[in-house]
Each structure stands twice: as C-alpha cells, then as structure tokens.
Amino acid sequence: ETSVPVLLEILTSPEHPESTKGHAAWALAFIGTKAKEYLYREINSDSESVRAAVVGAIAKIAQDEGEERAIKILNDALGDSSAEVRCEAAAVLGTLAYQPAVPNLIELLHHRDAETRKAAALSLMKIRDFNALEPLQAACEAETEESIKPIMKLAISQLMAQS
C-alpha cells in the first residue's frame, strides 16, 4: 500500500519508458484491494496513463469483492475524455461480463474514436448480451474504418453463434 504513490508517480513521469509504466500499472492491479482508497482518489487524475492504470486496478477490486463503488467507477470510465481510459474500461467490463454496461457500450459503437468503437464491440462480444446484436449490425454497416469492420463482424458472429 505504501508503494502506491510511487507507482502513480512513475505513471505520470515522462522520464520513465512505457515498459516501466506498464510494470507500474501491473503492480497497481496486483495490489488492488489493499490500495483501493488511493485508487478511487486517482481516477480523477489529470494523467490519462494514471486513470487507465487505475481502471485496470479497480477491475481487480470489482472482480474480487464485487464492490459497487468499483463497478460504478468502471462504468463511468466509459465516458472518459481519453480513448485509452475508455478502451481499458470497456475491456475490463467485458471481462467481468457486466450486463448493466451494455447500453453505454452500445452508445460507444458510434463514438468518433475508432479504437473506442473496437473496444466496445469486443466488450459486447464478451458480455454475450443478445440485445447488442442489432446495434452491432447497424454499427458495422455504418463503420467507415476498414480495420474496425472485421472486429465488429467477429463480435456479431460470436453473438449469433451463442444464440
């Protein structure tokens, strides 16, 4: 727990390489529940890297403890101004198969950022909510980014295979 401030400082420092920042983010996730008050506070950090790492760490709290505050933070992170944070939130909510996130994820299928749309589609695929099928199909039809279409098609085919 005492190492959390140092790990957060590493994430915000331009002096550290991305590999070091990745290790710091991993360490935060590993610490998880023992440092949750630090993590909850840092979700409002000015640093995108810190917020993204915090989302990953909070996912562990949500998974281990099912804590409602953690889940709410993850769901709220889908609306973050940073694509990195939105994508991380979408990924962890998909991994947690968190059904209440489906409406927000469906909304993200039409986000201006392509990576956000991709993360939303993959998350919906993991959650396996069949209500997402039609919105995914519509988003795939409207998709202009050629690299995202195959991801949406994969999500659609996986959902169809589950029905």
For the chain, the structural domain boundaries read 1-96, 99-163
Q: Cα 22 to chain center, whole Å?
A: 16
Copy the structure tokens of residue 117. Answer: 């749309």
Structure tokens at 70: 């953690």
What pLDDT digit, counting tens, does each position of 44-97 carry?
988 888 899 889 889 988 988 888 999 999 999 999 999 999 999 999 999 999
DSSP structure string for 76-111:
HGGG-S-HHHHHHHHHHHHHTT-GGGHHHHHHHTT-
**What percentage of the chain exceeds 90 in pLDDT?**
59
Q: What tens digit of pLDDT does each residue of 109-132 get? A: 999 999 999 999 999 999 999 999
Q: Are 52 and 84 in contact (CB under 8 A)?
A: yes
For domain 99-163, say whether CATH 3.30.750 is its number.
Answer: no
**8-49 pLDDT per residue, tens:** 888 788 898 888 877 887 887 787 677 788 888 889 988 888
| CATH class, 1-96 region | mainly alpha
Give the 3-state secondary structure of residue 4.
helix
